[in-house]
Amino acid sequence: MKKRFLIAGNWKMNKTVAETRAFFKTLQPLLTPTVRSELLICPSLVSLAAAFEANASVGISLGAQNVYPKDSGAFTGEVSPLMLKEFVSYVLVGHSERRTLLHESDAFINEKLHALLATGLKPVLCVGETLAERKEGRVFDVIACELEAGLKGVTNEQLSQVTIAYEPIWAIGTGETATPETAEEMHAFMHDWLTKRFEISSVSKVRLLYGGSLKVDNAKQLLSQPHIDGGLIGGASLKADSFVEIARIADGIEKDI
């Protein structure tokens, strides 16, 4: 089966419930004619129910930005995969902001990934290097380590439910974007890494997203690269028109993914 581009919006800590409803209202007419790429929005946890209701007449995919890897219990302030499953099909894990600001370890990220898979949710595993790691020539080691740890214990069957986002930390929210050549080099590396550990039939179902200041102006060049199957988009996903425009650019790209 051929993959579709996945154009995913990570809203981070943005948009109130009212703003979330307004976004979906603006989005709906922009989706005629139909967009072929899969659209995914990950709102904040408090806006998930509103997004779910507003999306009933729109029909894009919804995701969460975080999860706690237990079904229920004494975990104040946390939200379980089971709770999320009522609203979403995807959940981000390992975003660099959570790795850095919330000190999430590779082991904890792997625990979350397994909890999501066990509940039938699709993890979007984010990996990426800092500028210092890139300058020190450690970029391939860093990405390999994050993949190894994040995907520890994942079976071939489970892998086909996983999406991987390469997000160089120096490009997130900075306006700096990886060049298409750099992004492609990393995506090809991740693809090769996966093929060494998993069956090709499973690897071929995994979408590899690029994230880091992806916007209307650079979408065509980035998404045209052979191993890039979509984008994880922060800033440019907050406005329905730029979000949909990026999906339409993806739709116009002639390549087998």
| Cβ-based nearer residue to ligand PEP, 63 or 69 | 63
At its nearest, how many Å lie between ligand PEP and the CB of residue 22? 20
Stretch that binds ligand PEP, among 52-60, 106-114, 115-123, 228-236 (CB under 6 A): 228-236
Of these, 6, 12, 35, 184, which contacts ligand PEP (CB under 6 A)? 12
Complex with ligand PEP: residue 105 or 174, whichever CB lies closer? 174
Residue 80: phi, psi to the nearest 5? -95, 160
**One of 93, 121, 190, 232 touching ligand PEP (CB under 6 A):** 232
* 158 vs 177, beta carbon nearer ligand PEP: 177
> CA-to-CA distance for 60 and 100, rounded, in angstroms?
30
95 is catalytic: yes
Q: C-beta of 218: minimal distance to ligand PEP in Å?
A: 11
- Structural contact between residues 106 and 146, judged by C-beta atoms closer than 8 angstroms: yes
DSSP state of 126: E
The one among 63, 81, 94, 211 contacting ligand PEP by CB under 6 A: 211
Among 214, 219, 250, 257, binds ligand PEP (CB under 6 A): 214
DSSP string, 46-97: GGHHHHHHHGGGT--EEEES---SSSSSS-TT---HHHHHTT-SEEEES-HH
Spot the catalytic one: 38, 97, 167, 184. 167
Mark out the alpha helices in the chain (DSSP H runs).
17-30, 48-54, 81-85, 96-101, 106-119, 131-135, 139-150, 156-159, 180-197, 200-203, 216-223, 240-251
235 binds ligand PEP (CB under 6 A): yes
Least distance in angstroms from the C-beta of 232 to ligand PEP: 5
Q: Under DSSP, is residue 223 helix (H, G, I), strand (E, B) or coil?
A: helix
- Catalytic positions, written as ranges: 95, 167
Q: Which residues bind ligand PEP (CB under 6 A)?
A: 10, 12, 167, 172-173, 211-214, 232-235
